[in-house]
């Protein structure tokens, strides 16, 4: 199966060639048609599976041919646990937005940096990638409204829960329009996450990608104190 047969916007096919994406990865084969079909998706897949492009490509396709009025209401919200992931996801949106016929504006917001430039820049944005805490700060400052979000993505949802963002996530869900598409990606499934899935997802397409390398469940780290004379240095050649 090729990218050509998945129903993506023709301008994206050019970018896929530029990025050397010659064949869709399994998660992309399963997720792209479901997302284009407006279905909710539950993707159990780790980083490295190609999960980011599996939602970025159909989301950009669905935004093509639309007319947008410039305001503080975003069309797509991607919630992520960390600033690093926010930047990575933004970069994937950016590389695939170069040749689009309908230009799509993407922005990433996260804490640990000044909020004022983010407040100013949040005008006429289509796709917002955000960490939960900073997103709520921006909403409370009236820099942004979520009532027009058509697609919500939770990326690394398990990590967001592990970092203690559950209350923030629930508050964010309550600010969204009831009718929307929900895409949830997680490396693992836990009882807490099952709770979120039940509230959020409506008859989702479930995609589970086995990881190539099984990771150990637990890594034990042990330290020993040694005197200087007993210390030996090993060099790997």
Binding site for ligand AMP (CB under 6 A): 21, 23-25, 28, 47-53
Q: In the bound complex, what is the minimum distance in angstroms from residue 115's beta carbon to ligand AMP?
A: 28
Given a contact cutoff of 8 angstroms between Cβ atoms, the answer to whether 8 and 58 are in contact is: yes
Residue 159 phi/psi, 5-degree rounding, is -70, -35
Q: What gap in Å lies between CA 183 and CA 153, rounded to an integer?
A: 5
Q: In the bound complex, what is the minimum distance in angstroms from residue 139's beta carbon to ligand AMP?
A: 27
Q: In the bound complex, what is the minimum distance in angstroms from residue 126's beta carbon to ligand AMP?
A: 20
CB nearer ligand AMP, residue 27 or residue 144:
27
Q: In the bound complex, what is the minimum distance in angstroms from residue 232's beta carbon to ligand AMP?
A: 39
Q: How many other CB atoms are found less than 10 A from the CB of residue 69?
A: 6
Extract the tokens encoding 186: 């997680």
In the block, residue with structure tokens 């991607």: 78
73 class by beta-carbon count within 10 Å (0-12 exposed, 13-18 middle, 19+ buried): middle
Q: What gap in Å lies between CA 225 and CA 232, rounded to an integer?
A: 13
Q: In the bound complex, what is the minimum distance in angstroms from residue 215's beta carbon to ligand AMP?
A: 15
Q: In the bound complex, what is the minimum distance in angstroms from residue 195's beta carbon to ligand AMP?
A: 25
Q: Which of 137, 195, 142, 198 is nearest to 168 (CA)?
A: 137
**Which three-class secondary structure string do you get for 169-194?**
HHHHHHCCCCCCEEEEEECCCCHHHH
């Amino acid at each position: 199966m090729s990218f050509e047969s998945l129903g993506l916007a023709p301008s994206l096919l050019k970018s896929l060639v530029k990025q050397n994406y010659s064949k869709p990865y399994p998660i992309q084969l399963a997720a792209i048609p479901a997302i284009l079909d407006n279905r909710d998706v539950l993707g159990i897949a780790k980083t490295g599976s190609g999960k980011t492009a599996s939602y970025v490509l159909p989301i950009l396709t669905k935004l093509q041919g639309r007319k947008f009025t410039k305001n503080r209401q975003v069309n797509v919200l991607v919630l992520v646990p960390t600033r690093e992931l926010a930047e990575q996801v933004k970069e994937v949106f950016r590389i695939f937005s170069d040749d689009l016929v309908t230009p799509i504006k993407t922005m990433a917001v996260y804490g640990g940096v000044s909020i004022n430039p983010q407040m100013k820049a949040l005008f006429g944005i289509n796709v917002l990638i955000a960490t939960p805490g900073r997103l709520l700060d921006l909403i409370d400052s009236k820099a942004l409204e979520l009532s027009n979000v058509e697609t919500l993505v939770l990326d690394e949802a398990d990590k967001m829960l592990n970092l203690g963002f559950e209350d923030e996530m629930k508050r964010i869900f309550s600010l969204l329009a009831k009718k929307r598409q929900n895409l949830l990606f997680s490396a693992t499934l836990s009882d807490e996450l099952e709770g979120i899935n039940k509230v959020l997802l409506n008859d989702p397409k479930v995609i589970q990608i086995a990881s190539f390398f099984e990771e150990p469940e637990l890594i034990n780290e042990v330290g020993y104190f040694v005197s200087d004379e007993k210390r030996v240095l090993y060099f790997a050649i």
